[in-house]
Amino acid sequence: MTQIEIQAPTRAGYKVDVTRGQRISRVSSEWLNRPSDERYLSLTDLHNSVKRRSERSRTRIVESEAIRVEASRDDAERLTLILPDADAPVAPTHWSFGQLASLVGAPANYLRQLPAPLAGINLQYGLTSHRAEQVKTLEIENGRLELRAVTGPDYGRIFDHELVEAVRKIAGNGTGDTRWKVPGVLDWSTGIYNPNVDISKDTTTLYASDRDVFLFLVDDLNPIEAGRLPNGEPDLYFRGFYCWNSEVGARTLGIASFYLRAVCQNRNLWGVEDFEEITIRHSKYAASRFALEAEPALIQFADSSPMPFVNGIKAARERIVARDDDDRQSFLRKRGFSKTETTKIIDTVLTEEGRPPETVFDFVQGITRVARDKQHQDVRLDMEGKAKKLLDLAA
């Protein structure tokens, strides 16, 4: 892969400017909500865990009206299911119980508050009286037989280990044996991003629960220079991507790739540019789409040259679109920004750059900076989308 050479980092890392670009909080949300037992220190450990889980699982198609619900008055908290041709009762997980309740239109949260015998009566009534249909079950032997998922018969399951295996093809163990690794940490006091941070339960970005996987890796030992900052220092970026999947129907499969300037301690992504995302629903042909689209896209991003991105940034920096205040107002208003937003974008660039916006890149940075302060996600995403369209047009 063609790589732009950058001087060796200081012992502490690279100086970056995180006031530019987008802030993405998706990884931070995952990091905040994952308990210790869902955090893994390497792709090998993560893969072994989810692979063993799939090896102990089996799927089958059953008629919903043939499912029998059992609950004992002696154990008010335990409810089991008898599936057709099953060798033993199956215990629903929290997730699959919710899916089963949803199938018959019952409020899962309410049923969970009832003693198991009462919940069982309500659920059995729903299964018996509801229009009969085929469902696909995912069962696992885990000390006892558990029901992990109940989906439609055409649910196109992509197992979590399949996504992890695809990532391992480009990232190895995810700990630095290839260019892709768990990210470092930004020091806010100095503005220096340090890529060399020990991987621990507190810093890892490799996660798996009983219902999903999420992985975030960066190429932060090989920075890319895309122009200069106003003070003459290089504007440095790193490659990054995150991906996710749920083999039990909790979420789609997806991959997001981007360039970023830093990752902070609580795993917010700062200075993000060129964000791209693909998702694949677990429909009938999901496995084929994963093989034909998602995995090749991940490999292509990992092996591609950064020059298109660098040249796009360079073109945006050089393309002057406004030479006076009227031009600036007109440029933004024509692109759907309100009068108030237009003024704020121009003022933001003036404050941070020491001059009013002139180039496409100036406007893009102003828009993304203002978007960060928007409380409502849909408004923020709309502004960031407009900024990306501007950058794409300049490339």
Query: Domain extents for the chain?
Result: 14-52+157-314, 59-125+132-141, 319-394
pLDDT at residue 6 tops 60: no
Tokens for 232? 């003459």
Interval 338-358: pLDDT, tens: 889 899 999 988 887 788 888
**3-state SS, one letter per residue, for 101-161:** HHHCCCCHHHHHHCCHHHHHHHHHHHHHHCCCCEEEEEEEECCCEEEEEEECCCCCCCCHH
Closest CA to 364 of 289, 228, 272, 231: 272
pTM of the model: 0.81
Q: What is the pLDDT of residue 33?
A: 95
Q: What is the pLDDT of residue 26?
A: 94
Q: What is the pLDDT of residue 2?
A: 38
Q: What is the pLDDT of residue 74?
A: 64
DSSP string, 329-347: HHHHHTTT--HHHHHHHHH
Residue with tokens 């470092």: 184
- pLDDT mean over 225-233: 83
Determine which helix (DSSP H) or strand (DSSP E) holds 51, and give its type and residue range: helix 43-55
Average pLDDT of the chain?
88
Q: What is the pLDDT of residue 395?
A: 60
Percent of the chain with pLDDT over 90: 48
Q: What is the pLDDT of residue 151?
A: 92
